[in-house]
Structure 1
């Protein structure tokens, strides 16, 4: 018996009403921009249509999500970059920019995955028996460190707030201490193997 090939998940259709409310037709419920941002982080595709005209307004809504994230203190876009981006709109190269950004983000994602794999392979070979749990904790910490460099990823449950910069600083300090501890352990293990 032939099985039908597995099809890609269809994008969620969201309708935006004149009162600025967003309606998720898949869940039959009203949602917020934060819900849409979470869908992006979970790689769930969606398309937003103006409920009255039927016009695809997805780009505008995605831009609005970025503006809100920037306003919450999650500033990822440097001021000079924003100025340069605005300057491009008045030039003759805007058609090249979207493709460039897509390629740059794809390369970034590949490099991030490569770092994860390298760290996993490197730390895995130095783990003595019984250290798997420590290894898992260290990998989880490395994962958190890598997310600091990913502009479109934030762990589920992580909340942005006025104390976010201090939390990030505390996490960086903790990561540095963990790296130093790991370096010391690796040096000790290396010395024992000689």
Structure 2
């Protein structure tokens, strides 16, 4: 959630003066574009207005921050993407691009949050572990197809989990032998 001015609960207002200086009205101090970039990363909601005209110039200031970041070696926007973006100006689809880009970024953040949550929960619950489980299930199915009846006989005998693991290992060894023979 975006942070707002602690005193008023409103967006933080930044005034840009003709001498290019930026003034943060909430803390009564001059700031830099780097400070605005930090505020953005922290989720602080702000608007930048021209001190003389009162026009909202937030968009151009945020674009300037991106240009500075890209120029300083932390390039994130691929050339192809930039070319595609430029080609959309004047295109009939231009009016749809802002909503599309916002929806894409929201989806990216949501997926990023899901991945981070999976890692926080531990390796047992992450997507890689689930892929491993699926692979093991496939290997069991292949083992049953190659050696029919071996697992069903074990279950009929009421074998324990360790017996099942041993049987799976044996099946895997036999499958590897057969694959090695086929490969010769």
Common fold, TM-score beyond 0.5?
A: yes
Q: Which runs of 4+ in 1 moved over 6 A?
A: none
Q: What's the counterpart of residue 29 of structure 1?
A: 29
Shift of 1:92: 1.3
Aligned to 1:20: 20
Q: Which residue of 1 aligns with 2:50?
A: 50
Deviation string, structure 1 residues 124-144 (Cα, Å, up to 9, x no partner)? 77xxxxxxxxxxxxxxxxxxx
User: Is there any run of 5+ residues in structure 1 with no aligned partner, and where?
Assistant: 1-7, 126-193
Q: Which residue of 1 aligns with 2:171?
A: none
Residue in 2 that maps onto 1:101: 101
Q: Deviations over 1:76-110 (max 9, x none)?
A: 00111111111101211111000001111111111
Distance of 1:104 and 1:63 partners within structure 2: 18
User: Which residue of structure 1 lines up, in the alignment, with residue 122 of structure 2?
Assistant: 122
Give the deviation of 1:122 after TM superposition. Answer: 2.8
The equivalent of 2:77 in structure 1 is: 77
Residue of structure 2 equivalent to 1:40: 40
114-123 or 10-19, which deviates more: 114-123
Matches of 2:34 and 2:27 in 1, distance apart? 16
Structure-1 separation of matches of 2:39 and 2:124? 33
Query: What's the RMSD between the two structures over aligned residues?
Result: 2.1
Counterpart of 2:94 in 1: which secondary structure? Answer: coil
Q: Which residue of 1 aligns with 2:87?
A: 87
Counterpart CA distance in 1 for 2:26 and 2:120 is 38
SS of corresponding position for 1:95? helix
Q: Matched residue of 1:96: which SS?
A: helix
TM-score normalized with structure 1 length = 0.59
More helix by share: 2
Aligned residues between the structures? 121
Task: Give the Cα separation in 1 of the matches to 2:13 and 2:50.
Answer: 11
User: TM-score, normalised on structure 2?
Assistant: 0.62
Distance in 2 (CA, whole Å) between partners of 1:15 and 1:89 is: 29
